[in-house]
């Protein structure tokens, strides 16, 4: 039975690039996103899923395992970003922050919880998208705080799953060339989405005896504080 790779936030950017690389590596790939038009083939599946909804994520994992018999890799990648400030009126209104926090923190947590039974059965691998922004202070940046949370989430899941055979990796990219780049950083060095995808495939391609806990990657020339 062929291995199955589920990617959330797969409609663009890191998710789309990783899904493509996983398909090239021989996986059956589920490309999940809020905007997907449901379509399933023998090796590829575009699946609608809203990671901010526990019921939606649980339904996705159930459908995938029911149809394709197993889940071997889950890449909890879906996320959003809005500009924030705690001391000025710049950035998004606080009323707009909730979706980001729920998507970026609850989304990966829901995804992990829904996928874990299948990953335990397969001895599989959970990968979460963190960020280099989650490793240092970014003034007024709530997005950065949500990515700090992902580092802690990955560690908490790994600690609980230590005797299950499931491996847990958090990938922490620096600035990536996507449509979410703030105007102030358009001229900064950037990673391609495929650069991050290759890091994900590196982690999941290791022998089952190797658990790559964290991967931090930045574009050449990006300062550590950026």
Q: Which residues are catalytic?
A: 143
Tokens linked to 159: 């600690």
Q: 39-40 and 44-48: which strand pairing?
A: antiparallel
Cβ-defined contacts of 17-23 (< 8 Å, 24+): 17/192, 17/193, 17/194, 17/196, 17/197, 18/75, 18/77, 18/193, 18/196, 18/197, 18/200, 18/201, 20/197, 21/194, 21/197, 21/198, 21/200, 21/201, 22/73, 22/197, 22/201
Does residue 189 sit in helix, strand or coil? coil
Q: 4-8 and 39-40: which strand pairing?
A: unpaired
CA pair distance 198, 121, nearest whole angstrom: 26
Among 173, 180, 27, 160, smallest CA distance to 100 is for 180
Q: Which residues pair with 29 in a beta bridge?
A: 5, 44
CA pair distance 153, 16, nearest whole angstrom: 23
């Amino acid at each position: 039975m062929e291995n199955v790779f589920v990617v959330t936030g797969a409609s663009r950017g890191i998710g789309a690039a990783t899904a493509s690389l996983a398909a090239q590596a021989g996986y059956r790939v589920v490309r999940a996103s809020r905007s997907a038009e449901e379509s399933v083939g023998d090796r590829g599946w575009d699946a609608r899923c809203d990671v901010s909804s526990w019921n939606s994520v649980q339904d996705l994992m159930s459908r995938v395992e029911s149809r394709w018999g197993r889940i071997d890799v889950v890449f909890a990648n879906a996320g959003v970003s809005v500009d924030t400030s705690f001391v000025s009126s710049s950035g998004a209104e606080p009323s707009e922050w909730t979706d980001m926090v729920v998507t970026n923190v609850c989304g990966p947590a829901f995804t992990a919880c829904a996928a874990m039974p299948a990953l335990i059965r397969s001895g599989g691998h959970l990968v979460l998208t963190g960020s280099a922004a989650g490793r240092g202070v970014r003034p007024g940046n709530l997005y950065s705080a949500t990515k700090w949370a992902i580092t802690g989430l990955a560690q908490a899941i790994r600690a609980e799953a230590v005797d299950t055979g499931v491996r847990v990796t958090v990938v922490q990219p620096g600035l990536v060339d996507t449509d979410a780049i703030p105007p102030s950083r358009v001229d900064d060095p950037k990673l391609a989405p495929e650069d991050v995808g290759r890091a994900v495939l590196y982690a999941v391609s290791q022998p089952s005896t190797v658990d790559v806990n964290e991967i931090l990657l930045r574009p050449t020339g990006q300062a550590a504080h950026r």
